[in-house]
Structure 1
Amino acid sequence: MKNITKSVIALFAVLALSCSVEDVEDRPVIQGIDTPELVAPENDKAYVLLEDNAEEVAERFVWTKATYDGNVEIGYKLLIDVKGGDFTKAVEIGGTSGATQIEVTVKTLNNAIIALGGTPDVLGSYDVKVMSSLAGMEKMMSETPLTILVNPYTGLIPYAFTDWYFVGDATASGWNNNNNNQPLFRSGTNPSLYQFTGFFKAGAFKLISTPGQWAPMYGKGDNGAIVARPTEADSDPSSFEIATEGYYTFTMNTETLKYTLVTYNAAAAATFTTVGIIGDSTPLKWDASTALTQSTFNSHVWSINVLPLNDGKAKFRANNAWDVNWGGNTAFSAFPNNGTSGGDLPVAKSKYKIYFNDLDGSYLMIPNQK
């Protein structure tokens, strides 16, 4: 009986395999025939882009329809690369489903040129091609690129803030003023108010605003005051002192010229394996976090050197999960009770240097990085 059962199972397996093979062999194979080719604008057309016109249409690009050996809906992507580029690092400036033309705004074109390394206020040459595809397969690219000349603007987003960094043997960078110095986090509602909670070694520190330069600087004054050193020709102020290593919260106000330095109890603080940034502005959208790097000096501080972000929203979260996450409601920087909430952070398209503190949810996102 067992042998009969095995024979029946084997017979059905052979029949199923035969049907599957025949089905695959009978399926039509759709192949590309004619590649799409750009027909407008004219070759070597020049564009001088102005930031005031960012939302206006820079150009309508038109191309011929790609043809395949079947009645299928074709998707298109418009790509731009440096003159003579091989399009392996091209930037997409638009896409359609079926349509053979698309309008590209000044902002979109400018962002693409800047991403390709274009120099602001300098006319450069760029190649444009169109790529067709069927559900991501059977891709065909224009054989002949359309060349355009573009004079971009800087594309820098407004950032009218001053950042302040620690320097001193009580901090991660030591007395090196250009050693990935830890910045303070800035209030989301008061641009003169700064704060940092974290680990300090026994020693001293001061504050500088430009890594690599010793002025402007803030040092310690009398009676809770901070003392400014506007230029390196001015006298050097005293240092802030840390008598015993441990966790502290340092706060300073550059308008009132006052500071506080108090101990912080980090004994009960949670520790995390990973912390990342997530959101529709990030490379992985809302699908996955982009990991930040944990500080070896202070395990609660995380950073990423340069990350391109798009217009949209973002949050921070721990361990690639949603049970512990942090948000905010102000762009660039904030710390608790000064402009943060559980909401999504607003983000404008730029390249950012990002810092995050999991002790209090403080964040600093410095735009316009190279």
Structure 2
Amino acid sequence: MTEQTQSDDVKKIPAQSAAPAEETLTDSRPAAAPSQDDVPEPVTADAAPAGAGPAEPAQTPSDGAATEPAGTPAETVGPAAADAAELTEPAELTEPAEAAEAVAEPVPAEATPAESVTPGPRKRLRDRRGLRAAVRWTAAVVVFAALGGAAAYAVTQPERTEIPGLETPDDGRWTYPALKLPKLPAGQPGAMDSDNPAGRHYADLRTLLLPVPAGAKRDTSFPDRGGWLPTADFVEIYPEDVRKKFRAALDDNTLRHIAARAWTMPDGTRTEIYLVQFATEPYTTRVRNELIVPAAFAQAAHPQTDTTWSDDDSAVPKGEMVSPYNEASPRGATHLRAAYITAGDTLAVVHMEKAGTQPAVPFHQTVVLQSQLLG
């Protein structure tokens, strides 16, 4: 009798594998066989006395493993189901039918927590994408800045005539060497400085002569830097009937010396430059007025004022005065252009002749450069 009772009690204990695993799975993978750990041990005669009612189910572990069907994969159970399993203390095992219904019932979509829909790693992915975009834009700006700086540097290096589209049209200008002013004695002002009312040029006047342009043939009969030009040679550029008068005017107005240079260009244009120095600026002004009135040269008895000069007057240093002349037609075999430059104690004369017609550009260029050396 005792043995029969024990056998009946054992039969009344529901097995944990009573609910088929295939009915509760959401995927098509076969259910795993229940392990020996999931099957409770049979109740012995010592644990259940004879005549007692159905034995109490064995207490499940605290991790809630007894409430899950055997063989159910962990990934098929949502967060809501896991929370429910932790909050509920299964005091007794439910009937097999009720356990199957509880497991088979799907979790409602609205019960899913919000954080399970938008996991954290997605935000971090967007942050990384924004960082990569910022790095790409920064790199692009740096590259374009470097390329722009390199292009600007490349454009400023070569001559304008070497850059396509930026070539300077040939307007007839001559190519002069780079101009360099001589060093003044220590403590001495420039000729046009306000603290030099006499307008004295303290530098050697021969160092202020405009250099010979490229391609020109220098006239070695002129002293250049090797000496001073005699007064008789200078007055030969004027008509013969006034030479004696002009020479006397030079001597009476404290003439100191005359520096001179001359050259001839390949096109036949002959240029002569004279720097006539006096004691102070007032003497220079007086001699200029005597030579200009009346204005006359040996090759042009009646030259006229050059009306095209006004565009170049702004390049002349402040304090200097330029009086340009152009031989009017009808002309003889040669065309004369000449200019007087008053700069402090020095009166400069630029004298240019050419057979046929002489262009104005090289003449204006030569006058401007010589005035800048004197200023």
Q: TM-score normalised by the shorter chain: which range applies?
A: under 0.3
> Which structure's residues are more often helix, by fraction?
2
> Which structure's residues are more often strand, by fraction?
1
Please give the TM-score of this superposition, normalised by the length of structure 2.
Answer: 0.21
